[in-house]
Structure 1
């Protein structure tokens, strides 16, 4: 059958989508990009926060329109399917099947019967159909989360942290390298907790050491590193692995101790300042990224000001911020002290404006430096190339490097770029030999 696939949400969800698509391709189904051509459409949904739920519902209704034409089956999988399976079945009759995440061990049987009556290769054994740029791929090293932050629905949706065996990950990584992947990006809800459940201790460093030995990878990047799990052994071990980038994505969520306690976040602002000092002493040019939540129940003006001061003190290279989104069945949902939406948005604007100033100052320091850049695109009219440096994660999480060159460059190639101009998020430069 011709199958259209829509993947929503985070990179972790994308890996799930790639496994399902790989499973379908191995079953002789054809993946099509135009939903008008699809005989079946599968939507992998996100259900993390309200805007993601709204996007998922909107996409379901949009794809349901194709049932008037060629589409015979509309199938919903993923986080929204896990959390609201019965409601989706009851409220949207256009949906032919809802498959929850907990059913993935049997998804080959379910989809096989829905599509053509034949079983597919199992989800666990399927080889991923990498849908991102061919030189970059994500490696999901664990599922679920055991941190149980009071605002977060992930444990409700995906359960507690479950580490994937190291041998399985190494084999998957070797397959990706053999297919031309040059940048491997490690992801999980908490990458620094890798191995605790399976091996009885934090095992991210041993995993990195084994991945580092695989030929083909040029960059290995780690996302979602919780601050209290980053110890000296990990930092010093990373410094000995040239392929592993000193890119530290450390979701803080707040700086005030009372707020962190209310969020059930471990560690303190002071702990993080010591950690950052250690990172900056160990690496010449590390990248420090974080995320914050503003407007959490009970957040006072003084606590928000403390957060702003923390941003000034650290001078984060990259920062994302979000207003608190109340999620049913989480502890924070019933907390007193709800913040007015107008105040939430005002605080968000203030924090992002502050970070823009910090970011611009940081970016100015890059002028005159030469960066290694992974080339990903080109503006055909202007002849300007677009790529990412070691400081930029994929999928527009961070900025880009725009540069000119006197030669034709292949996408997926690494080049040296001398920076000549800096903006708030992006850099401009010229290729140098």
Structure 2
């Protein structure tokens, strides 16, 4: 007789504390088994040394060690979700499945398919909000429609934010309801076709940087940002804990960044076409140059603009780029070089440790001028002025582009004034089409 259990499926929530789906699963009538699926639909698109896979793998192993203290273990599957769930049904009498919402288009389709399959097997399926403070229709205009401009959204977001929404779920006292099983086999990275990455990952301790963030966040040389994006992306830090800490330390600017993340998640949910199409349809008429040699120069940090090149070198070396610099390099690619923003978004998706589709797509469309609440198309960042304003002592440039000080840097790939005039003509033509 197979044992009756509930399953808590971990995806972007790789922790045991303050975990919405796990809390509700543990309060249910059946012992809870934790599941993680290394989804080949996602993994097949990644390089063999993708540092994010190594991070996930190491985190899963750490979770398994924590579960061992409760005589439990995580079940790890490698393959398609369909195959994984079929195998689980053969091994256990699954009565209910608990998981947290994921707002990306592939994830939504995957979860809809699973819900249909579970219904056919008479298994209840429960999903919860966990990776954002407010989701979907929780912050809307008076007419019930979603906000498409951040400032009024943020005002309502702040008004609604109270202790209820950032209160942690008390998991610890319910962990005795985990399924008691012996240690389960975890497939190795090589079993899954990957190699371990030597990439250094950011610390989970973001609170010590919040004071500096409020004053120095725009100066890349100060390294005053929290680097918490990766932990929010994979749920190794709870968004409720992050927001509560920001309120405690009165880190208003940082709190607004968490709201931007919610905002872009909401936009992606309501407007999924923005993944590969401009939020403002007229911008799909832009006649991009898409010069492959210039794109490669941008990728490698050889455009001749120091701040742009330092940013790209940092990204390629560390999987991270300072947020102010992200705006500059994105604007430069789409506006100075007239290369489709989707090329840059795809490159960031490959390189960024903290890549989140909603924020990345939103940020790129903002920089291009084609998104919701975007910088107007005629606002073109001057990379030289940005460098003088935000890296006046060349601290960031010296670190990532040492040849600049030695006057061995490549000449600019395009002249700023010329590029600005060109983009204004091209964008104006597209919008008047």
More strand by share: 1
TM-score w.r.t. the length of structure 2 is: 0.28
The structure showing larger relative contact order (alpha-carbon pairs under 8 Å, at least 6 residues apart) is: 2
TM-score w.r.t. the length of structure 1 is: 0.28
